[in-house]
Amino acid sequence: MAKEGVPGAVREDPPADRVEEDVQLPPSHPDSLPYRLVVLFFTCLLTFGSYFCFDQPSALQDMMQDQLDIDNFQFNLLYSVYSFSNMIMVIFGGYFVDKLGTRPCTVLFVLLIFTGQVLFSLGTTLEYYPLALAGRIIFGTGGGSISVVQNSIVSHWFKGKELAFAFGVALTSSRLGSVLNFFFSSPLANATSLNFALWFGAGLCCLSMTAAACFVVLDLRASRITGRDPATSARKIRVQDIKELPLSFWLLSFICMFFYSVVFPFIADAPKFFVHKWGYSSDHASIIGTPLFYPPHHDLLSAFMSLMLPFFAFSCCQSGSS
């Protein structure tokens, strides 16, 4: 009977003394649960800053259009260039993760995210739209790829029945960044200024860079102690492998594509729509424009459901429904 143990190790029918040894691992050992939970914490922070900043233009649309003197087409172009660069780079990002490993790719992608948000904030501060647009392009090159890195890290550090729970925690932390943006960016900009709100987002991207550095240190330490290196032990991927992907993968991909193409363009313009169509304040419009908090009467229920996502994932794994 299979037992839970060291990530990457043989898990079938371990001897009784090995099971007892795994239970008694000190918290500082890379294979212990406390150590891996610390790794998961820093892994969750990798995407927190990018998810917060991705929809900042939506939460601050009116102020941004006034300050940059741009129309609706130019505003939506801020999202289009992000999607185009993300769509192309994420394919190469996955290849780089398989080829180089998670450590260098983590540092590279969070650096691109931080650089892009800094340029976007600087372009808005200087009221120079082309610079802000260039910042969104650079932001997009790292925004999607960092999620690929995050998934790769989680799948390396967690196995078996722990995996779905770890994925749920990572997804919840990412979506939390998006939700907090809609809750706080508009009130923060109204209380201070648009520029301050955008630079605050850049500060959160800097937090993600700090988390990336902490992850690299923890992962290097784990490799020294255990002798395992995910960059060398992972199966090498070839372009020809795309032919081996099952039909279910392509069906799920198309489902995500059609869902994203409907929901996310609406989210980008929803706050301004609620302001001009229904007369909401900008702060209230940002809150009810979030995908997790609409309509406003269901705020507490939606928040509860989003926070319960990791536990639902864990239950599915325990019951074999995943």
Q: Count other C-beta atoms under 10 Å from residue 196's C-beta.
A: 14
Query: Which one-letter amino acid corresponds to residue 32?
Result: S
pLDDT at 308: 54
Lowest mean per-residue pLDDT among 176-180, 232-236, 256-260: 232-236
Please provide the average confidence, as pLDDT, over all residues in the chain.
79
pLDDT at 251: 87
pLDDT at 34: 92
Alpha-helix residue ranges (DSSP H) falling in 4-71: 16-23, 33-54, 56-59, 61-68
Lowest mean per-residue pLDDT among 6-10, 107-111, 230-234: 6-10
Alpha carbon 187 to chain centroid, angstroms: 24
Lowest mean per-residue pLDDT among 7-21, 67-81, 186-200, 221-235: 7-21
**How far is the C-alpha of 75 from the C-alpha of 246, rounded, in Å?**
38
Q: How far is CA 16 from CA 9, 21, 48, 137, 162, in A?
A: 16, 9, 41, 54, 21
Per-residue pLDDT reduced to its tens digit, 269-321: 666 667 767 766 665 665 565 554 444 434 444 445 555 555 555 555 555 55
**Per-residue confidence band for 268, with pLDDT thresholds at 50, 70 and 90:** low
Calculate what percentage of the chain has a pLDDT beyond 70.
Answer: 70
In the predicted model, is pLDDT for residue 28 greater than 60? Answer: yes
Q: At what angle do helices 33-54 and 194-226 cross, to 10 degrees?
A: 150
In the predicted model, is pLDDT for residue 234 greater than 80? Answer: no
Could you tell me which residue, 46 or 162, shows the higher pLDDT? Answer: 46
Per-residue pLDDT reduced to its tens digit, 195-219: 999 999 999 999 999 999 999 999 9
Per-residue pLDDT reduced to its tens digit, 138-185: 999 998 889 889 999 998 898 887 888 888 888 888 888 888 888 899
Helix (H/G/I), strand (E/B), else coil: 125: helix
Left, alpha or beta for 127 (phi > 0: left; psi -120 to 50: alpha)? Answer: left
pLDDT at 19: 38
What is the chain's Cα-based Rg?
A: 21
**Beta-carbon contacts of residue 3 (< 8 Å; ≥ 6 apart):** 11, 13, 14, 19
pLDDT at 178: 84
CA-nearest of 112, 188, 119 to 146 is 112
